[in-house]
Structure 1
């Protein structure tokens, strides 16, 4: 995560919005989350918001819209490519079980799936393949995307604040230790000089 934070912090504010939103969209629409989970990018964005690189409100808006749009694309992929999702018989059985879960627990699966990395990429396609009405899907997708997006930005922002406090505390502690070492060194030096004079 530190490498991603460093890389994003070197970008200009508008580019950070685009990159974070693109990673969230790609995770949801094209199963990109197996390479880099979108929530990692969002949390890093929240840390950068704490540092003043981006605005947390606009970052939240970008993330939520990207999450909803990405899931919408995933839904369409599932609806249009259902036979390819099924493939061989073994996969067909697993897909059918997932589809059955979405049919039985449709809205809950869409909402909760947003918060679980594997399901976040998979549930929208299954919702489309199971022919869940798009309006129902959109409602729970939007609710999950809103809570997930804002929550992760706030989490990153809070982590950035905690890091700053820890950094400040470590800095003060190191300064205190350095001062104590200097004092001890001076005391030892004075004692040695005193002994040398008396010997």
Structure 2
């Protein structure tokens, strides 16, 4: 994970912005979110925005657009292909508990599940398709999708921006080089993602209990 983050931060700003759009867009539409969480690109976009190479608003707009369009595509696939969608989920990456959790969340929470599900990588990849499969009205899903995507994108991008701000200050006060600051940012973001993933897995069994 740390190598991926280091490579992303070092990319040209235009390419970072493209990834900020693409990774969230592909999470639910192609199940990429089961392998690579979209927040990686958005966090890095926030860090790059703090460096002055990208405006923060552009990172947020790209993230919102990618998240909303990708989940909308996932919803339409689920609505059209129904149960076949579940049969195509990569079983090596999806535990039966995660699939049941997504199904249960949509059944109990409806449109709110679309907003809640965005905060866990596995749910983010599965909930849109399951929402389409469940027969949730498209207008209802779209409203929840845009609202959830906006909240998620702003939060994650600002976290990345604040991480960049914190370690730029550390660089000035301690005389650290740019490479050291980058290394610290990579470690902090990687730990944040790891803890977020663990917390999401722990809440699954707790809710089922």
TM-score by length of 2: 0.72
Post-superposition offset of 1:82:
1.2
Is the Cα contact below 8 Å between 2:99 and 2:126 reproduced in 1? no
Post-superposition offset of 1:59:
1.0
TM alignment of 1:36-55, pairs within 5 A: 36-55=36-55
The residue number in structure 2 matching 1:148 is 152
* Structure of larger gyration radius: 1
* 1:159 counterpart = 2:163: yes
The residue number in structure 2 matching 1:104 is 108
Is the Cα contact below 8 Å between 2:8 and 2:41 reproduced in 1? no
The match for 1:118 among 118, 122, 137 is 122
Is the Cα contact below 8 Å between 2:13 and 2:48 reproduced in 1? no
**CA distance 1:78–1:151, change in 2 (3 Å):** same
TM-score by length of 1: 0.76
Inter-partner Cα distance in structure 2 for 1:20 and 1:54: 12
Post-superposition offset of 1:95:
6.0
* 1:75 counterpart = 2:75: yes
**CA distance 1:108–1:170, change in 2 (3 Å):** same
Is the Cα contact below 8 Å between 1:4 and 1:44 reproduced in 2? no
Residue ranges of structure 1 left out of the alignment (5+ in a row): 173-199
Q: Give the 3-state SS of the residue equivalent to 2:155 in structure 1.
A: helix
Aligned-pair RMSD on alpha carbons?
2.5
Inter-partner Cα distance in structure 2 for 1:55 and 1:97: 37
Residue ranges of structure 2 left out of the alignment (5+ in a row): 177-209
